[in-house]
Amino acid sequence: MTVRMIPPASPPPPGQALRILVVDDATVVRLYYRQVLELEGYRVEEAINGLEGLEKALQTPFDLCVVDVNMPIMDGYAFLNALRREPTTQAIPALMTSTEADPEDRLRAFQAGANFYLVKPVPRDQLALHVAALVGRRAA
């Protein structure tokens, strides 16, 4: 297994928040992640599946992606595999979330390119802490 070490993101210019892409087919989950992350000072964009997320990431790379596993059209594993193949997006940190809690699921996430894996439901403080760590910031 290869673990990807991602250097901390450089801080955004003054007055500009780090951009996070939330990729999840569940509206309630996207809204919850958005609320938590915006309260932490991040700018959040959403995608309802991996294909839409990939299109958005290729247009303008993000500072972090928060990705669900099970989605229609393109699942989280395929999204991360595609993200890691593109030179402009391969170094974007990725936090994968899922209701799947088996060790095999975690391993598959890391093999696809996830930097961290959290099991849903993700508590607010855990989401904020792991996102901050992946982008090189202290949690608020």
Residue 48 — pLDDT band, cuts 50, 70, 90?
A: very high
CA angle 132, 136, 140 (to 5 degrees): 40
pTM, whole model, 2 decimals?
0.87
Mean pLDDT of the chain: 89
Above 80 in pLDDT, residue 8?
no
pLDDT tens by residue, 130-140: 999 999 876 55
Domains in the chain, ordered, with CATH? Answer: 19-135 (3.40.50.2300)
pLDDT tens by residue, 80-119: 999 999 999 999 999 999 999 999 999 999 999 999 999 9
d(CA 25, CA 8): 28
